[in-house]
């Protein structure tokens, strides 16, 4: 899960700003079909980015746990 205290990545922030702008146009009734498709595309991309970040974090945690377990096994063998 992403850290809520971690600042958003610049790319995600830019995508979110564009998406917010498109949603504002929709609320005002000015959104074209092309802009609506772009909003859907941005929502999917932000969702995928968030999922990918969670997977990366989980893998990193698993790697750290594996290293800690390996160190513990190594210490047990030497005692």
What's the confidence (pLDDT) of residue 11?
A: 81
Residue 27 belongs to a domain? yes
Domain coverage including residue 50: 13-77
Residue 24 belongs to a domain: yes
Residue 55 pLDDT greater than 60, yes or no: yes
**pLDDT reading at 2 higher than 60:** no
For residue 50, CA distances in Å to 28, 54, 65 come to 28, 6, 23
Q: What is the pTM of this model?
A: 0.58
Q: CA 25, 26, 31 angle in degrees (round to 5)?
A: 75
What is the domain count for the chain? Answer: 1
In a domain, 4, yes or no: no
Q: Does any domain span residue 2? A: no
Inside any domain, residue 1: no
**Is the pLDDT assigned to residue 1 strictly greater than 60?**
no
8 within domain boundaries? no
Is there a domain that residue 25 lies in?
yes
- Higher model confidence: residue 30 or residue 60? 60
Residue 5 lies in a domain: no
């Amino acid at each position: 899960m992403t850290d809520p205290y971690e600042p958003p990545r610049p790319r995600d922030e830019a995508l979110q700003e564009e998406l917010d702008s498109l949603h504002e146009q929709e609320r005002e009734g000015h959104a074209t079909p092309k802009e609506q498709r772009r909003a859907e595309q941005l929502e999917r991309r932000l969702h995928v980015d968030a999922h990918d970040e969670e997977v990366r974090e989980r893998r990193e945690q698993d790697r750290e746990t594996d290293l800690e377990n390996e160190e513990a096994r190594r210490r047990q063998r030497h005692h």
